[in-house]
Chains A and B, each alone.
Chain A
Amino acid sequence: MTVRHGQIKAPTAHKIGWYMLQATVTYIVMTAALWCVFIYVPTEKAQGIVQRIFYFHVSSAITMFVAFFIVCVASIIYLWKQAQWWDNVALSAAEIGVVYCTLVLITGPIWARPIWGVWWTWDPTLTLTLVLWLIYVAYLMLRADASDAKRTRFAAVLGIIGFADIFLIRWSVVKWRTLHPKPVVVQEGGTTGLPPSMMVTFCLAMAACLLLFFFLLRERASLAQRRYELETLRDEIENELVR
């Protein structure tokens, strides 16, 4: 449904077909990924059963970066075009990004504890994730704090700057980390040198996380858009009726 002031267009059909397709694909891939991670893939020798977290831990981290990248791009487009939809996309991507970020921060310690004996290590990626969590939580708080008129623009500015800062934070945190010896030298299980079964599992987990992200993004952004249109319509009607 689109609303122009003074005129309401007839509602267009919700794109049921695409929605069902997206939902189904996401569901299938996620189920496959879960099966692979917990049942199919063999237990890794060195790290034991805890290593299974790796698949979702790394996938969540990558999805988180994708989410924050989308916040940045959507913010730029919003400032350029002043279209509410892009602000909704930015908000949704930020919310879901913070969720994935939290998942990284939770799965990291769960993985670290059995392997290294400590809950937390200040390794570059975890540290970077923590700082990002702080930035994007502040993003959400800024949205709540600003008045209606300026909220979207301020959030867009933070969305752009926050993302630009990621590279600088990563650079500085890596530099900082090399000053402190790591407790144990750990192979973080990069994607090269993985046996095929693990590679497949990782790819499935990655795909599942991304698909889930895009599905939630679409739903959340659409919800925000419909809420916005509802409020606009309500405001319209109140003014028409009073006059």
Chain B
Amino acid sequence: MSGEMMVRLQGVTKRFAHVWALRGIDLELRRGRCLGIFGANGAGKTTLLNILATLARPSSGQVTIAGYDAVREADKIRPLLGVLGHRTYLYGDLTASENLQFYGRLFGVPNAHQRSQEWLHSVGLDPDSRQRVRTFSRGMQQRLAIARVLLHEPELLLLDEPYTGLDQNAVGRLQRLLDDLQAADRTIILSTHDLARGLAVCDEILIQSRGKVVYYEEAASDLDITGFEQLYAAHVQ
């Protein structure tokens, strides 16, 4: 299982009107690895993640996830994906429990009700399960969002700027989550500005600038933070 190719991009480009958001991305990621994508705003990180999430189609190139082609077989890929960003995807007027059950039903999770309860318990939202999400604090919403994303046990997690707007506790929670996921052989791709936190968690790193991959390192543990910061400054204008 481990070592199998989870994600492969070949010559992927994406054009919006006359602007090339992605200008030829080649990428390979094995199962169980964690890849960090770093880059300035407008480098195309979100576009890349959208394409991986099957929310957008590439203008050209091949995208293969878990052996399926992302353009023709997107419906087989979606059950394998878990997407977490700064948007929570939660319905404010539904309770925490209802939110989870709803997504459970859409994903086709068996025993959606029971599993929702289990997940609410593991993120510590048991007492608030019948509260409307609108009344939750940001931290509570993040915990619920984590439960939501893991409910259907995705194999590939895509996180778009997950640290944005999180306080220390929340960041710690996220880091622990990522460690647990890695231990469970899940594949993770995360994009962020935050060099230190990203470096701490990722196995492989990639710097993206103006739609191209300008730097790639397969053994991120070899890098220290100052070295990485210099590298980043050198490659990103």
**Does any Cβ of B come within 8 Å of A242's Cβ?**
yes
**Does any Cβ of B come within 8 Å of A185's Cβ?**
no
B84 CB to nearest A CB, Å: 23
Chain B, range 5-58, C-beta contacts under 8 Å to A: 13, 16-20, 23-24
Complex partner residue of A148 from B13, B19, B23, B210, CB under 8 angstroms: B19
Q: How far is the CA of A235 from the CA of B13 in the complex (A)?
A: 15
**Does any Cβ of B come within 8 Å of A152's Cβ?**
yes
- Which residue, A148, A149, A236, has most C-beta atoms of chain B within 10 A? A149
Q: How many B residues touch the partner, as a band?
A: 10 to 19
Complex contacts, A243 vs chain B, CB 8 Å: 209-210, 237
Chain A, range 27-73, C-beta contacts under 8 Å to B: none
B23 touching A149, Cβ below 8 Å: no
A235 touching B59, Cβ below 8 Å: no
Chain A, range 188-243, C-beta contacts under 8 Å to B: 228, 231-232, 235-236, 239, 242-243
Complex contacts, B237 vs chain A, CB 8 Å: 242-243
Complex contacts, B24 vs chain A, CB 8 Å: 5-6
B120 CB to nearest A CB, Å: 37
| Nearest chain B residue, comparing its CB with the CB of A229 | B18
B210 touching A239, Cβ below 8 Å: yes
| Nearest chain B residue, comparing its CB with the CB of A240 | B210
B23 touching A235, Cβ below 8 Å: no
Complex partner residue of A149 from B17, B210, B211, CB under 8 angstroms: B17
B188 CB to nearest A CB, Å: 27
Q: How many A residues touch the partner, as a band?
A: 10 to 19
**Does any Cβ of B come within 8 Å of A2's Cβ?**
no
| Nearest chain B residue, comparing its CB with the CB of A227 | B18
Complex contacts, A5 vs chain B, CB 8 Å: 13, 20, 23-24
Could you give, for residues 142-164 of chain A, a 1 whenever the CB lies within 8 Å of some chain B CB and a 0 otherwise?
A: 00000011011000000000000
How many A-B contacts at CB < 8 Å in the complex? 32
Q: How far is the CA of A6 from the CA of B237 in the complex (A)?
A: 19
Complex partner residue of A152 from B17, B19, B23, B209, CB under 8 angstroms: B17
A91 CB to nearest B CB, Å: 12
B59 touching A232, Cβ below 8 Å: no
Complex contacts, A152 vs chain B, CB 8 Å: 17
B23 touching A6, Cβ below 8 Å: yes
**Does any Cβ of B come within 8 Å of A82's Cβ?**
yes
A55 CB to nearest B CB, Å: 41
Complex contacts, B17 vs chain A, CB 8 Å: 148-149, 151-152, 228, 231
Complex contacts, A6 vs chain B, CB 8 Å: 23-24
Complex contacts, B23 vs chain A, CB 8 Å: 5-6
Complex contacts, A148 vs chain B, CB 8 Å: 16-19
| Nearest chain A residue, comparing its CB with the CB of B211 | A239
A149 touching B18, Cβ below 8 Å: no
Q: A5-B24, A82-B59 are in contact. List 15 more A-B contacts (CB 8 A).
A: A5-B13, A6-B23, A148-B17, A148-B18, A148-B19, A149-B16, A228-B17, A231-B17, A232-B20, A235-B19, A235-B20, A239-B211, A242-B210, A243-B209, A243-B237
A binding-site residues for B, Cβ under 8 Å:
5-6, 82, 148-149, 151-152, 228, 231-232, 235-236, 239, 242-243
**Could you list 28 examples of A-B contacts with CB < 8 Å?**
A5-B13, A5-B20, A5-B24, A6-B23, A6-B24, A82-B59, A148-B16, A148-B17, A148-B18, A148-B19, A149-B16, A149-B17, A152-B17, A228-B17, A228-B18, A231-B17, A231-B18, A232-B18, A232-B20, A235-B19, A235-B20, A236-B20, A239-B210, A239-B211, A242-B210, A242-B237, A243-B210, A243-B237
